[in-house]
Amino acid sequence: MKVKFFVKRYIPDIGKEGFDEYEIELTEGLTVLDALLYIKENIDQSLSVRYSCRMGICGSCGMIINGKPDLACHTQVKDVVENGIIKVEPIPNLPLVRDLVTDMSSVFAKHKKIKPFVIRKDEKEQENPVREYKQTPEELLEYLQFSYCIQCGLCISSCPVSSTDELFFEPLILAQAYRFCVDSRDEGIEERLNVVSQSHGVFNCHFAGGCSNACPKGVDPALAIQLLKRLILKRAIGFLKKKKGADIVSPYPEGPNKDKIPKPPPKTV
């Protein structure tokens, strides 16, 4: 069976825009990314596509496939093909560099603003750690789901707020902000809430839920954003408990005297 690929092209250097048509043979296990790479190698070398791991971990190959945002590497062609046609477009709401390649630098800049790392008041201890911080499995579950984010940007493509507001902190950024706010080891909740409660921040989200619907990793950014709003509202009415970062695990107990342990027999080979 032959499949027709309509790929959105955009090459600013030569002023090329619009869809290009390619026809390739459908083979067993062919993913959309495989098909695009086949086109690049055999039919049209000018096609630009970004990819890295080919197994849904790196989040480079997010694109719109037949109208639905998904990762090209874990979308089987036979699952999404409609009347022998597949239409591939770049992620909207992000600056377009060329063909299917989008520029994520503005997203990463916003990501930096929310301080995506564990903040401790005792920086000296954090820089020279002796042992790990305590954390229960329940405390881990509070944020674990949100830490699966691979920053592919698919949530941005289906967010209606991002479609008109470039400065909006995208769903993935707000989910990361929440992920670090509820981390039991973290002590920087105030700093992060100050950043995300500004204009273009978390309250610009009106819960369309498109991000959670689009997420290929089961992160549920909409849930994180609503819970982040709750944190801010709680803080506003003075109900937010002051959080103390998790304690450090007590130092290793002294082991048995090594001199008393019998030595292994000498090597025979």
Q: Closest distance between other proteins and the C-beta of residue 82, in Å? A: 10
Question: C-beta of 162: minimal distance to other proteins in Å?
Answer: 8
Identity (one letter) of the amino acid at 168? F
Closest CA to 7 of 252, 16, 255, 15: 16
176 binds other proteins (CB under 8 A): no
Give whichever of 24 and 175 is closer to other proteins, judged by the CB atom.
175
Distance CA 153, CA 215 (A): 9
Mask 128-147, x = binds other proteins (CB under 8 A)? -------------xxxxxx-
- Residue partners of 112: CB distance under 8 A and separation at least 6: none
Strand-pair partners of 36: none
**Taking the complex as a whole, how short is the minimal distance between the CB of residue 92 and other proteins, in angstroms?**
5
DSSP-derived pairing of the beta strands 85-89 and 2-11: parallel
Note whether 163 binds other proteins by CB under 8 A: yes
Other CB atoms within a 10 A radius of the CB of residue 37 amount to 16
Q: Which is nearer to other proteins, 54 or 74 (CB)?
A: 74
Residue 235: half-sphere exposure toward Cβ, Cα within 13 Å: 16
Total H helices, total E strands in the chain: 10, 7
Contact between residue 177 and residue 195 where contact means Cβ atoms under 8 Å apart: yes
Q: Determine if 230 is a binding residue for other proteins (CB under 8 A).
A: yes
Q: Which stretch binds other proteins (CB under 8 A): 66-74, 186-194, 247-255, 257-265?
A: 66-74
Kindly indicate which of the ranges 40-48, 91-99, 193-201, 250-258 contains the residues binding other proteins, using the contact rule CB under 8 A: 91-99
Using the rule CB under 8 A, is 226 a contact of other proteins?
Answer: yes
Contact residues for other proteins, defined by CB under 8 A: 10, 12, 64, 66-69, 90, 92-97, 102-103, 141-146, 148, 157-160, 162-164, 166, 206-210, 212-215, 217-220, 222-224, 226-227, 229-230, 233
